[in-house]
Amino acid sequence: MAGTFYRVQCADCENEQVVFGKASTTVSCAVCGTTLARPTGGNASIEHEIVETVESR
């Protein structure tokens, strides 16, 4: 039960980045710095397109 990761594509620069589904801090795009996900106390709120869900074991 390590959690779920999402591959998220930045809407601004099309960079793909893996985001932890329960991120506890704001996740910014590594290329352009826009916010990709915000912590909500539970599952992170993903604000961009999820390309792929990556289950971890």
How far from 6 is each of 32, 42, CA to CA, in Å? 19, 15
Pairing of strands 45-46, 49-55: unpaired
Using only the alpha carbons of the chain, give its radius of gyration.
11
Q: What is the contact mask toward Zn ion in residues 13 to 52, using x (rule: CB under 5 A)? A: x-x-------------x-xx--------------------
Minimum Å gap between C-beta 11 and Zn ion is 8
Answer yes or no: is 44 a known binding residue.
Answer: no
Binding site for Zn ion (CB under 5 A): 10, 12-13, 15, 29, 31-32
